[in-house]
Copies of this chain bind each other. A is one copy, B any other.
Amino acid sequence: MDRLSLTFSALADPTRRAILARLATGAASVNEIAAPFAMSLPAISKHLKVLERAQLIARSKEAQWRPCELKAEPLREADAWIEQYRQMWEERFDRLDAYLMELQAKSIAAKAAPVKTTKTKKKKS
């Protein structure tokens, strides 16, 4: 499977996303990772294997522990893919912006109270 599909399908599970969130706060052993979940250890072990295959985590050895560490690099590619569409989901806000600006112009012309505009973050134009 291609890297991007591998990344997205690894992210398509709430348990795995929660594991990544946990690992964002620092490396952890399998038991530590498993603790918050109402799920058997082998199930967690399988999730970790999925994350490892997607290269979202890396594992080392320390005695009988196999600590996991977050590796965010694959997310960069996923982000770049999604990024292509940012303009599209911001468009409606831009249109709303334009509409509100127009309203505002009118209200100013009519000496009425001004109208707030939505804030559209401009990133990586």
A17 within 8 A of B: yes
In the assembled complex, A95 has its CB within 8 A of some CB on chain B: no
Residues of B within 8 Å of A4, CB to CB, are 14, 17
Interface of A is mostly: helix
Q: How far is the CA of A13 from the CA of B5 in the complex (A)?
A: 6
Most-contacted residue by chain B among A20, A24, A75, A86 (CB, 10 A) = A75
CB–CB A85/B24 < 8 A: yes
What is the CA–CA distance of A8 and B8 in the complex, to the nearest angstrom?
Answer: 5
- The answer to whether B88 touches A70 (Cβ under 8 A) is yes
Chain copies in the assembly? 2
Q: A85 to B85, alpha carbons, bound, how many Å?
A: 19
| A74 to chain B: closest residue by CB | B89
Taking A21-B84, A72-B88, A75-B85 as known contacts, 18 extra A-B pairs with beta carbons closer than 8 A to each other, sorted by chain A number, are A2-B14, A4-B17, A8-B9, A8-B11, A9-B12, A12-B12, A20-B85, A24-B84, A24-B85, A70-B85, A72-B85, A72-B86, A75-B88, A75-B89, A78-B82, A79-B83, A79-B86, A123-B123
Point out residues on A near B: beta carbons under 8 Å. 2, 4-5, 8-9, 11-14, 17, 20-21, 24, 70, 72-73, 75-76, 78-79, 81-86, 88-89, 121, 123-124
